[in-house]
Amino acid sequence: MAPGAVPVLHADAHVLAVDKPAGRLVIPGRTPGEASLREELEAALGRLWVVHRLDRGTSGVLVLARTADAHRALNVAFDRGEPEKTYLAIVRGSPAAEFRVDVPVAAGRKGRMRAGRLGESRAKPAGTTFRTLQRFPAREGRPDLALVECRPETGRTHQIRVHLAHAGAPLAVDPDYGDPGPLVLPSGAVLDRTPLHASRLALRHPATGEPLVLEAPLPRDLEAALAALR
């Protein structure tokens, strides 16, 4: 376990991968006195370089580099879209069994992103494929919900959240792109954060080139929500 009981998924001289808890910032933010996950890990493990980020409310696989060389190699891989990323999300609505969103993502207001238009100068190409794993029809005042697997092919800020909202299936709780929540389930379980989890990341090790597959189990809050829905 890493400091603060953050589970370590992989550690060697070049790469550190952890299971990021929901509610933690990856890098220092604007809140005075709030330590970021990177700072906490660095205090115990030494210098770390952030390779990619997860939103505060998102949990799951987070990779950091332990050397400058590894950082450069991983940055190139992520820029090329080589790592295979899989997320799990609880969304509103009853989406199709499989669907794809190819919509550019552009900066919006107050730190938010938005669906852009082809040819728009500030919009960056983005593509995500989705597969609906389970549907939970509306009942007892609860809306239609579904568990969806998300595979982003690019790494734009808030890409999955923007694409889900564009497809009419926003995250069950999302203060920026959908309903701010919280969502109270009939069982009494409360979902009060963006239910998005980075469950799997497959990439090449930056030093050896060997395949490195990292997986993080669903956290307790999402497990409890799904158990209540089932």
Q: Which of 55, 174, 176, 221 is catalytic?
A: 55
Q: Alpha carbon 91 to chain centroid distance?
A: 14
- What are the φ and ψ backbone dihedral angles of 18, each rounded to 5 degrees? -130, 165
Which CATH number belongs to the domain containing residue 224 in this structure?
Answer: 3.30.2350.10
pLDDT in tens, 95-125: 999 999 999 999 888 778 888 876 677 889 9
Asked if residue 34 has pLDDT above 90, the reply is no
Residues with Cβ within 8 Å of residue 45, at least 6 apart in sequence: 2, 3, 16, 66
pTM: 0.93
Distance CA 181, CA 93 (A): 15
Supply 33's token pair.
């006195």
> In the chain, what percentage of residues exceed pLDDT 70?
97
3-state secondary structure of 175: coil
* Active-site residue flag, 55: yes
Supply the range of the domain harboring residue 173.
3-229
